Structure 1
Amino acid sequence: MFTLFHHPFCPHSRFIRLVLGELGADLQLAEERAWERREAFLALNPAGTTPVLIAEGEGAIPGAGVIAEFIDEAFGAEMAERRLLPTTIGERVEVRRLMSWFNEKFFEEASNPLVTERIYKRFMSEEEGGGPPSADVIRAAKANVRYHLAYIGWLAGTRNYLAGDRLTYADLAAAAHLSAIDYLGDVPWTEDDAAKAWYARVKSRPSFRPLLSEWLAGVPASRTYVDLDF
């Protein structure tokens, strides 16, 4: 049994939920509004960010990258051909490089500003940074989505999956960040057929179903969000 402190639209939390879905783990979710900086949550992760995983017999495991490494070390071998971090050094480097690209670069330039401005700020007090969304921040982030989508399309057009021949953490990280902003309708799918086809494949996996079933009151999902044949 795992417990995951998460926010439904935190891209890093979505990544770990997909990872645990691929593992077939028994998962309990605990929603956390990280901007509230609860003392009990800060005791689990002094950085005050989601996700944080609680695994039976282990202490709190904070951060998407750390959790992914823990899952591979603890369960990777038993997943055999479904292992999400390959076994050869070169393949592992490429998967980690792309995990970093999406969990750090994509997050900072695109998914985090869009989710923060269009979702989180609705629930934040003024002291916590809430208020009207910034049109300038949204405009810049949406422009950044375009070049990230083009890069995904290039990877998908030259490989079977983003990091190589099979599904890895790289695909789940990219799909998690895209899914959060696809809910908002901020992914220009018509601009890259290869990226769209790759995302449709990943989105059709059983691990994705719980994400697609979640809705935010007052913020309807885009037309493409739940449509597997978008």
Structure 2
Amino acid sequence: MRLLFHLPLSPFSRKVRLALAEKRIPFDLRIERVWERRDDFLAMNPACTVPVLQEDNGLTIPDSYAICEYLDEAYPDTPLLGRTLAERVEVRRLVAWFDGKFHAEVGMNLLYEKQFKRAMGRGNPDASSIRAGYANLKPHLAYLGWLAETRPWLAGPMLSLADLAAAAHLSALDYIGDIDWSLSDGAKDWYARVKSRPSFRPLLADRVSGLEPPDHYANLDF
């Protein structure tokens, strides 16, 4: 069976899980505690990051963006990168925005500091980084809300990897209760649409030992 090495709160792992589910590609999950630096996992991905996808034929693909590009080329029936050149450019731009800019300005300051830093043996959360993360979240939610209010989906007329990337990052933060949805009605309404999709159900059912999500996390109507 196809195997995805992941961490439940990794937004990059969540993005790949959503892409696989949207394409209706069956797969099994295996939690990989990257801070343990297993030799077998390092042999698959010397960067020692999740996600890593291992196909039935032994093909191993590390890095969430490489995996999603591969999935769209190997399983094109449900395209997630857009149909026209212009759509594909916009999808890639927004995926880069959320995986790069949003993750650096928000995710690293909140999710990493509050959940992953101590597990990786890198000390205690930094209060100034957490404050910066909350401050940075506001303009990002405003921008996402503007996109959602002016387009059918974030990158254009169809659900794309841009929506899945954004939802993956936001869902991980929502699990730890760090999204103030009152900041943007547009972002909240868009997220409600995305998390109502069947592909999202396994994410909403996830639970992390010792950490319960807020009551609204799995509520499709907030």
Same fold by TM (over 0.5)?
yes
What's the offset of the Cα at 1:58? Answer: 4.7
**Contact map agreement 2:109 2:132 (CA 8 A) in 1:** no
Match of 2:150 among 134, 158, 162: 158
**CA distance in 2 between partners of 1:7 and 1:95 (Å):** 25
* Number of the residue aligned with 2:41: 41
* Number of the residue aligned with 1:99: 95
Structure 1 residue runs of 4 or more that deviate by more than 3 Å after TM superposition: none
* Number of the residue aligned with 1:187: 179
* Counterpart secondary structure, 2:67: helix
**Contact map agreement 1:185 1:223 (CA 8 A) in 2:** no
* Number of the residue aligned with 1:61: 61
Once the two structures are superposed, the pairs formed by residues 139-158 of structure 1 within 5 Å of their partners are: 139-158=131-150
* Paired amino acid for 1:222: P
Range that drifts further, 208-217 or 197-206: 208-217
**CA distance in 2 between partners of 1:7 and 1:61 (Å):** 16
1:108-142: CA deviation from partner (whole Å, max 9, x where unpaired): 11123322222223433xxx31x332221111111
Match of 2:115 among 114, 119, 125: 119
* Number of the residue aligned with 1:18: 18
What's the offset of the Cα at 1:59? Answer: 2.1
Q: Which runs of 5+ in 2 are unaligned?
A: none
**CA distance in 1 between partners of 2:111 and 2:39 (Å):** 24
* Paired amino acid for 2:124: P
**CA distance in 1 between partners of 2:108 and 2:37 (Å):** 18
**CA distance in 1 between partners of 2:84 and 2:52 (Å):** 28
* Counterpart secondary structure, 2:117: helix
What is the aligned length? 222
**Contact map agreement 2:177 2:213 (CA 8 A) in 1:** yes
* Number of the residue aligned with 1:216: 208
Once the two structures are superposed, the pairs formed by residues 163-174 of structure 1 within 5 Å of their partners are: 163-174=155-166
Once the two structures are superposed, the pairs formed by residues 49-88 of structure 1 within 5 Å of their partners are: 49-76=49-76, 78-79=77-78, 83-88=79-84
* Counterpart secondary structure, 1:29: strand
**CA distance in 1 between partners of 2:165 and 2:106 (Å):** 14
Q: Which runs of 5+ in 1 are unaligned?
A: none
Percent identity, please: 53
